Structure 1
Amino acid sequence: MMNRWMSVVRQSPNGVDAWRAARLSRLKARRKLWLEVHGWLGLILGFCLAIFGITGSVLVFYEETDDWLNPGVIALANLVEGQEHFRPVDDIVEAARSVMPDRAQIGSIIYPRHDRRAYQFFYRVVTDNESTPELRHVFVNPYTAEVTGTRAVIERGRWLPDGFVPFMFQLHFALLAGNTGAVVVGIMGVISIISVLTGLIVWWPLTGKWRRALTIKRAASPERLNHDVHQTFGFYTALIMLAVLLSGVYMNLPDHFKVPVKLLSPNSRSFTDNPQSSPAAGRSPIGLDRALASVRRSYPEGRVNWLRLPEGETGVYTISIRDVPGLSRFWSERRLTVDQYSGAILTVHDPDTRTAAGDTFLDWMWPLHSGKVFGWPGRILIFVTGLACPVLYVTGVVRWLQKRRAKRSKKPPRPAGWGEARNRITGRSN
């Protein structure tokens, strides 16, 4: 094929122009195919992507929103003196357990991120139908160890969760459809990544008119304005959109997502570490307070972020510490596991102890998705990108309708005598 075109170039004084014109024609034909793919993917998934974008923008500030909407339950209004006056964590755990049924299991505990916030417990309540357990939140005052409130996130017989923030999370994560919805949303995320990539292919200026591809024309016609808005919003948010979609797929389909990561980075500690406690006769669990004290003796810097209790006899305490000075300028988290009987620190997972690229890749998924990896600028970028999703959907639909009307207006004229033939067939008179 290349030899044939080079022959044309040699034989014709305008061979170079002819070759460029032919190449451009091929690229435009290929671009038209990708435009069709991009258009149909947008029409099929665009509405759901708009929902994910809006809810994601809201959830960028979910902690602040939850505090604001739940005074006295999550945000404490009474005068406080600091975390040194917190009740023992074991007392806090016992208070939360006192309002939960016997079959309830603690998933994780969110430590107060400031002096005026309650502990937040995530409980999994096993029901008769074990495939769909109930999920509930319990809030406990850190100074008095009193339960300030509870709410149902997933409960049998109820379609909507309690509270605005849980509603946003369930809509964003699973379209309010439970585990099945989470899988569907994950698959939508994969297809949406393809949609963004095809959009970049369609956006690429084949004629080199980069300014037109990167800006919105002033005083443009409505059709051109709609096209430019769709194009520029899509381009300037594409990189962040891809990161958010990829991390979202990981959170919805973690087992499937980890398969290629494990193939590419089999030595990652995420796949090789399996810390376990060592039970022995006569020893009983030390309790969360002593486990936390053991960690803080070795790692006093930073703030406690979340805690997780052991599951079973060989389970371990897991403690996350955030904002560790000098650890990382982007996402400074250190996760430690502690033997539930001896208090010995079994593993330390932080940016300094990562052994493979797979660890770094997986550790960045949640910080990228939430925008917290870059602090407030990152959260604002995620917020803006989420709001771009409904803009892209609306302008995409408008663009599709414009093209549809244009095609209809370009229908060939009816042949002479068509009306007379129609009247004879239908029995109509002029």
Structure 2
Amino acid sequence: MAVAERRGGLRLIARLHRWLGLAAAIIWMLQAATGVLLAFHFEADDALLSTERVPTDFDAIQQHMSGLDNAGGEAGTIWVWTTAGLPDRYVVLYRAPDGDERTAKIDGAGRVLRDAAADDYTFLGLMREIHLTLLSGNVGHWILGIAGLLLFTNILFGLYMAWPRSGHWRRALVPVNSAGPSARSYSWHRAVGLWGAIPAAVSILVGSLMVFEHQIGDAIGVEEITLPANPARGAPVGLDLAARAAVDAIPGSRFVGTTMPSVDDASYYAWVRGPGELYRGGYGGSLVIVDANDGSVRGAWPGTEAAPARALMGSLYPLHTGEAAGTLGRILVMLTGVWLIVMAIVGVQLWQRRRAARRAR
């Protein structure tokens, strides 16, 4: 009786695994393909503009931003951030005099390498938007989150079905080529699946959780870090002083980016990457709020000292992209995307062959 029940349960799991996979295969393959392209897209985008490295000069960058601020009309800078690609590269989001938002990619001396409308994407930038939202805003964002959770459960179903008995691991991990077409496809599907299921499940799960990070953060008590508005008392201190103050507030850190002060709140909300953080690329998880009136530090929140709930949410991006493990981790995530494409193709091929075999009976 127990054996019959177990077989019935396995058949149900197999049907769920098959039909869930077929239903969402297109979205999963699109996510996998764009994910492979995005593994090193920040560096690629920067290199396509220029490979010359110009050391960061915040005074020069400030001069460029002052020119944007003084262009008249509704002009003004909104934030400046590292591109997360090549060293000493930055992207500035600003409003043009007509109120339209634009982005300027600049080198360390403030020289403009590319200036375009904020929604004018490069090819890799377009791939990133597809990967994040399917070019459908919040609706696409939610579709991808749900599809990601579906993929995660489907991987668990597949792993459960493919898990070999004791003493059969070598046979399961090495595909056979001497059997018939269906058996050969199954052998490859099982072997490739066992090799990559665990890293894929981790990357896909944390990527899906990122879609719901605000809802999850609210549920586990992660509050946004803010301070009371700090009215301006004159012209704000420059980016150079603010960036230095932010880096000095957390010894050993590197500047990542900052929002710009306003008349209502003369504060730089500056992010830096501190020692020991999971971030290895161009981003960081430590916040420093700098008073734009005098350059003093209003508060500092190192990422490595965050409460467990905040640390959990802050770990999602570096785990999903693999940068928590450096370049090797990013390569592993890229290979995970290739793995998912192969699994989808072999899985559909296996389904077609089995379906044809049943019809031929």
Matched, 1:308 2:273: no
Change in CA separation of 1:298 and 1:113 when aligned onto 2, cut-off 3 Å: farther
Partner Cα separation in structure 2 for residue 236 and residue 359 of structure 1: 32
Q: Deviations over 1:83-141 (max 9, x none)?
A: 3x5534422323455789727762552268656x542124589x99xxxxx86431224
Q: Give, in angstroms, the shift of residue 365 of structure 1.
A: 0.8
Amino acid paired to 1:137: T
Partner Cα separation in structure 2 for residue 205 and residue 112 of structure 1: 42
Partner Cα separation in structure 1 for residue 149 and residue 113 of structure 2: 40
Instruction: List aligned pairs for 1:8-407, cutoff 5 A.
Output: 22-71=1-50, 75-76=51-52, 80=54, 82-83=55-56, 85=57, 87-97=59-69, 102=74, 106-110=78-82, 117-123=88-94, 136-143=102-109, 145-152=110-117, 154=119, 161-205=120-164, 209-260=168-219, 262=220, 266=221, 270-271=222-223, 273-279=225-231, 282-310=233-261, 313-314=264-265, 316-322=267-273, 324-325=274-275, 327-328=276-277, 333-355=285-307, 357-407=308-358
Amino acid paired to 2:49: N
**Identical columns (%):** 24
Partner Cα separation in structure 1 for residue 162 and residue 134 of structure 2: 30
Q: Deviations over 1:10-47 (max 9, x none)?
A: xxxxxxxxxxxx43332121011011111111101112
Judge conservation of contact 1:136–1:151 (CA < 8 Å) in 2: yes
Judge conservation of contact 1:173–1:182 (CA < 8 Å) in 2: yes
Q: Deviations over 1:281-304 (max 9, x none)?
A: x45533433221222333452432
Amino acid paired to 1:289: D
Partner Cα separation in structure 1 for residue 200 and residue 285 of structure 2: 24
Judge conservation of contact 1:338–1:346 (CA < 8 Å) in 2: yes
Q: Give, in angstroms, the shift of residue 189 of structure 1.
A: 1.6
Q: Give, in angstroms, the shift of residue 395 of structure 1.
A: 0.9
Name the SS of the counterpart of 2:305 in structure 1: coil
Q: Deviations over 1:403-427 (max 9, x none)?
A: 21222233xxxxxxxxxxxxxxxxx
Per the alignment, residue 421 of structure 1 pairs with none
Judge conservation of contact 1:276–1:316 (CA < 8 Å) in 2: no
Change in CA separation of 1:403 and 1:87 when aligned onto 2, cut-off 3 Å: same
Change in CA separation of 1:146 and 1:284 when aligned onto 2, cut-off 3 Å: same
TM-score (norm 1): 0.73
Judge conservation of contact 2:69–2:75 (CA < 8 Å) in 1: no
Change in CA separation of 1:105 and 1:87 when aligned onto 2, cut-off 3 Å: closer
Change in CA separation of 1:347 and 1:193 when aligned onto 2, cut-off 3 Å: farther
Partner Cα separation in structure 2 for residue 398 and residue 148 of structure 1: 46
TM-score (norm 2): 0.85
Q: Give, in angstroms, the shift of residue 371 of structure 1.
A: 0.9
Where structure 1 has 5 or more consecutive residues not aligned to the other structure, the ranges are 1-21, 129-133, 155-160, 411-430
Q: Give, in angstroms, the shift of residue 363 of structure 1.
A: 1.1
Aligned-residue CA RMSD (Å): 3.3
Amino acid paired to 1:149: R
Change in CA separation of 1:122 and 1:37 when aligned onto 2, cut-off 3 Å: farther
60-69 vs 89-98, which deviates more? Answer: 89-98
Where structure 2 has 5 or more consecutive residues not aligned to the other structure, the ranges are none
Judge conservation of contact 1:316–1:340 (CA < 8 Å) in 2: yes
